A and B are shown apart, each in its own frame.
Chain A
Amino acid sequence: MNPLHSNSAFVRSLTRTLATLPAYQTGAALADAPPAFTEVGVRYSHYSEDDIDASSVIFGATSRYDIDITQLWIEAPVGASWSVALDVQNDYQTGASPWFVGTDQNGQPGVIMSGASIQDNRVEVGVATRYFWADGNAGLNVSHSDEDDYEALSMAFDASWNTAGNTRTWTTSVSNSRDKVNPTQGVIPVFVTNEALDTQSGYFGVSQILSRTTIVRVGLNYTYSDGYLSDPYKLNDQRPQSHERIALSTGYRHFLIDANASVHFDYRYYADSWGVDSHTVELGWAQHFERTTLTPYFRYYSQREADFFQVVADLNEPHFADDYRLSSYGAMTLGARWAINLGDWTFEIEGERYWSDANWGLYDGDPAPALVDFWRGTIAIMWRFD
């Protein structure tokens, strides 16, 4: 770990671990046969946050995070009923993030930033295997993530099976993650050592073919975390030791034959034991052309603030946080993905822009001064062979 440690690494790892849990994998039923080809792929993404508004900063740099993400993978059939996959990912981030929120001489809240010379690197390796039978499939996934201040080991099992003439697919998954937190001292003081976090998650859902061009789904996630859930790299952050989360997700896909395009609609309702609840809607249009597919999409998100969030944290409360990600706000995303198929090769280009604003939300709450806007760009190459 670079001594100028990122104060984002912990939460980054925390959320990564949660996101790794397969209970969140609510994808369509896999074809109940191993992939016909071996696939090798590489994907590079760059994530860049806009500078924070100088008028919101009391002290420190206005620049925020840039992250370079490289993904490599190979996935192959094994015999008639199995597949295996190996995924390796490296994240390299630089920049600064909010350390805490204070007040200026006029009593207005402002951000004290961590410093602008943060560097951090994370490597994650995942191995997955899947067994296929006539009416379903089941998979096991193990992954390990490591960086200087955070280590996570997660394991997940999922299964899908088809009924009703293979028009209905039931899916379930369970997972567990055990994480170790060892924050490092850097340009900002840290008062935490050797903490742990244990997370279990479960998912149950069903997808149904409604017609030759329409399919829908609904699913329910439940996740429980116990352990250290605060952010040791934020000065004023003391969260509860447990966290229950539940998410109801729905999806709709419809193929328009005349337009040679697919319409996508997804909605999620989320609520948790910290008082946060949110609505997420995503709309997409996948237009087929000869050898290529262009998919523009729009996403809207709105969340209610956590019970213990305050713009300027009150340290006399049993739990407190001034993290803007726990505030009430709304966000919009515009993006597009372009896939080009050339025989055994597939090329992908994707870009999106994310804006957040306290006034765009559905819920009341005091605006946090550090809401983020960002760009993300991705390119990928995949090769399939026998």
Chain B
Amino acid sequence: MKNALCTVGIVAPLLLQTGCVQMESVEAWDRGYLAEDTMQWETDARSARLKGHVYTSKEASTGGSGAAGGGCGCN
């Protein structure tokens, strides 16, 4: 399973790099929607860290989306 994960983790960036994923050219002046707070991976980084840490403390899994920072350690 780890090999599969590594493969995906390496291949996906390569797909982007080699142009195999459909992409539009977006000029800098046309990125207003992308710049909205709600379009960020973490709208509020500290809130996301706290939330992620609660899950980390209650579940066996760690890492991935949003979990970071000194959370509450709710256990």
* A47 & B54 in contact (Cβ 8 Å cutoff): yes
User: Known contacts A218-B13, A293-B38, A378-B47; is A26 also within 8 Å of B74 by CB?
Assistant: no
A126 to B70 Cα, complex, angstroms? 8
A357 within 8 A of B: no
Contact with B along A224-246 (1 / 0, CB 8 A): 00000000000000000000011
* A247 & B62 in contact (Cβ 8 Å cutoff): yes
A-B pairs with beta carbons under 8 A, tally: 265
* B73 & A27 in contact (Cβ 8 Å cutoff): no
User: Known contacts A8-B75, A69-B50, A218-B12; is A262 also within 8 Å of B36 by CB?
Assistant: yes
Q: Of B33, B34, B73, which one neighbours A12 at CB under 8 angstroms?
A: B73
* B62 & A18 in contact (Cβ 8 Å cutoff): yes
A112 to B51 Cα, complex, angstroms? 29
* A89 & B70 in contact (Cβ 8 Å cutoff): yes
Contact with A along B33-70 (1 / 0, CB 8 A): 11011111111111111111111111111111111111
* B55 & A301 in contact (Cβ 8 Å cutoff): yes
Closest B residue by C-beta to A306: B60
* A69 & B55 in contact (Cβ 8 Å cutoff): no
Instruction: For A205, list chain B residues within 8 Å (CB).
Output: 13
* A12 & B57 in contact (Cβ 8 Å cutoff): yes
A337 within 8 A of B: yes
User: Known contacts A87-B46, A376-B54; is A303 also within 8 Å of B61 by CB?
Assistant: yes
Instruction: For B47, list chain A residues within 8 Å (CB).
Output: 43, 337, 348, 350, 378, 380
* B55 & A245 in contact (Cβ 8 Å cutoff): no
Count, chain A residues at interface, CB 8 A: 107
Residues of B within 8 A of A (CB): 1-2, 5-6, 8-10, 12-13, 16-17, 21-26, 28, 30-31, 33-34, 36-75
* A215 & B39 in contact (Cβ 8 Å cutoff): yes
Apart from A210-B23, A213-B33, A280-B64, 9 more pairs, CB < 8 Å? A23-B63, A47-B54, A71-B46, A87-B70, A210-B24, A270-B64, A278-B60, A301-B59, A348-B44
Instruction: For A218, list chain B residues within 8 Å (CB).
Output: 8-9, 12-13
A216 to B52 Cα, complex, angstroms? 20
A2 within 8 A of B: no
A91 to B54 Cα, complex, angstroms? 12
